[in-house]
Structure 1
Amino acid sequence: MKLKRMIAFTLSVLMASSMAGCGKSLPQNAKTTSAAGSTAASSATGELKPESGAKLKFRTSSASQLNFAKALAKKFEAKYGVPVTAEDGSVYDQNKTNLEATSGKGPDVFMSPHDKTIENQRAGLLLKLDDRVATELKKDVSDVAMKTVTVDGGVYGVPVSIETYVMFYNKKLVKGSPATSYEQLMKESKSFNNAGQNKFWFLSHVSEGATMFPMLSAYGYKPFGENGTDNDKPDFDKPEFEKGLEVLKKYHDLMPAASGDLANWDFLTNQFVTGKTAYLISGPWNVKTFRDAKADFGVTSLPTYDGKKETSFAFVQNAQVSAYSKYPKAAQLFAQYMVSNEGAELLYSDASCITSRKDISQVKGLAQDEQLSAIVKCFNDSIPVPTAKRISYFWTICANVGPAVFDGQMTPKAAAAKAKSDWDSFLKAE
Structure 2
Amino acid sequence: MGKKKLSFLAIMALCLLFVTTGCSKGEKAKDKTSDNNEISLAVWGYDQNTEFKALVESFEDKHDAKVKIVDIDPGAYENKITTLLASGDKTDVLAMKDVGSYVNYANKKQLLDLSTYSDKLSEEDIKSYGENLESYRTEDGKLYALPFRKDTYVLFYNKKLFDKAGVSYPEKLTWESYQEMAKKMTSGSNEAEKVYGGYHHKWFPIVQATAANQTNNDLLKGKYGFLKDYYNIFLNMQNEGSVMDYATIKTTNTTYSSVFETEKAATMIMGSFYISSLLKGTEAGTVDLDWGMAPIPQRKDSNEVITYGGPAGMAVNKNAANAKLARKFVEFCSGKEGAKVLSEIGITTAYQNEEILETLFSIPGMPQDEMSKQALYPDKNGFEHAANASAAEITKVLGEEHDLIMVEDVSLDKGISNMESRIKGIK
- For the pair 1:307 / 2:301, whether they are aligned, the reply is yes
Give the C-alpha shift of residue 380 in structure 1: 5.7
Instruction: Report what 2:112 is aligned to.
Output: 127
Secondary structure of residue in 2 paired with 1:202:
coil
Instruction: Report what 1:182 is aligned to.
Output: 175
Alpha-carbon distance between aligned partners in 2 of 1:192 and 1:99, rounded to the nearest angstrom: 50
Q: 1:107 to 1:403 in 2, by over 3 A?
A: same
Aligned alpha-carbon RMSD (Å): 3.8
Match of 1:258 among 216, 233, 245: 245
Give the C-alpha shift of residue 337 in structure 1: 1.1
Q: 1:410 to 1:356 in 2, by over 3 A?
A: same
- Aligned residues of 1:161 and 1:355 also touching (Cα < 8 A): yes
Instruction: Report what 1:95 is aligned to.
Output: 82
Instruction: Report what 2:337 is aligned to.
Output: 342
Q: 1:150 to 1:360 in 2, by over 3 A?
A: farther
Q: 1:321 to 1:400 in 2, by over 3 A?
A: same
Give the C-alpha shift of residue 418 in structure 1: 3.9
Give the C-alpha shift of residue 254 in structure 1: 7.7
| Structure 1: unaligned runs, 5 residues or longer | 1-52, 226-232
Instruction: Report what 1:396 is aligned to.
Output: 400
Alpha-carbon distance between aligned partners in 1 of 2:274 and 2:241, rounded to the nearest angstrom: 22
Query: What whole-Å deviation, never above 9, does each CA across 1:218-250 have from its counterpart, x for those lacking one?
Result: 54443113xxxxxxx3x24xx323344334344
Alpha-carbon distance between aligned partners in 2 of 1:146 and 1:411, rounded to the nearest angstrom: 37
Aligned identity (percent) is: 13
Secondary structure of residue in 2 paired with 1:223:
coil
Instruction: Report what 2:100 is aligned to.
Output: 115
* Higher Rg: 2
Instruction: Report what 2:328 is aligned to.
Output: 333
- Aligned residues of 1:366 and 1:373 also touching (Cα < 8 A): no
Secondary structure of residue in 2 paired with 1:61:
strand
Alpha-carbon distance between aligned partners in 2 of 1:375 and 1:303, rounded to the nearest angstrom: 11
Match of 2:196 among 194, 200, 204: 200
Give the C-alpha shift of residue 108 in structure 1: 3.2
Give the C-alpha shift of residue 61 in structure 1: 0.7
Alpha-carbon distance between aligned partners in 2 of 1:96 and 1:375, rounded to the nearest angstrom: 38
- Aligned residues of 1:182 and 1:305 also touching (Cα < 8 A): yes
- Aligned residues of 1:219 and 1:244 also touching (Cα < 8 A): no
Alpha-carbon distance between aligned partners in 2 of 1:420 and 1:71, rounded to the nearest angstrom: 46
- For the pair 1:317 / 2:321, whether they are aligned, the reply is no
Q: 1:339 to 1:423 in 2, by over 3 A?
A: closer
Give the C-alpha shift of residue 216 in structure 1: 4.0
Give the C-alpha shift of residue 71 in structure 1: 1.3
Give the C-alpha shift of residue 177 in structure 1: 5.7
- Aligned residues of 2:92 and 2:319 also touching (Cα < 8 A): yes
Instruction: Report what 2:265 is aligned to.
Output: 277
Q: 1:383 to 1:69 in 2, by over 3 A?
A: closer
Match of 1:224 among 215, 220, 227: 220
| Structure 2: unaligned runs, 5 residues or longer | 1-34
Instruction: Report what 2:4 is aligned to.
Output: none
Q: 1:373 to 1:360 in 2, by over 3 A?
A: farther
Give the C-alpha shift of residue 320 in structure 1: 1.1
Query: What whole-Å deviation, never above 9, does each CA across 1:343-367 have from its counterpart, x for those lacking one?
Result: 23434557x6443212262478524
Alpha-carbon distance between aligned partners in 2 of 1:367 and 1:340, rounded to the nearest angstrom: 19
Bigger shift: 313-322 or 128-137? 128-137
Alpha-carbon distance between aligned partners in 1 of 2:305 and 2:415, rounded to the nearest angstrom: 20
Alpha-carbon distance between aligned partners in 1 of 2:301 and 2:195, rounded to the nearest angstrom: 27
Secondary structure of residue in 2 paired with 1:306:
coil
Instruction: Report what 2:31 is aligned to.
Output: none
- Aligned residues of 1:204 and 1:262 also touching (Cα < 8 A): no
Secondary structure of residue in 2 paired with 1:393:
helix
Query: What whole-Å deviation, never above 9, does each CA across 1:141-196 have from its counterpart, x for those lacking one?
Result: 24135312444222222111233432101223153562422222234345443462
What TM-score results when the alignment is normalised by the length of structure 2? Answer: 0.68
Q: Given residue 148 of structure 1, which amino acid in structure 2 is its aligned partner?
A: Y
Q: How does 1:11-160 map to 2 (within 5 A)?
A: 54-62=36-44, 63-64=46-47, 67-78=53-64, 83-91=65-73, 92=77, 93-99=80-86, 102=88, 106-113=90-97, 114-129=99-114, 131-136=116-121, 138-160=126-148
Alpha-carbon distance between aligned partners in 2 of 1:189 and 1:319, rounded to the nearest angstrom: 38
- Aligned residues of 2:305 and 2:380 also touching (Cα < 8 A): no
Number of residue pairs the alignment of both structures matches: 352
Q: 1:276 to 1:315 in 2, by over 3 A?
A: same
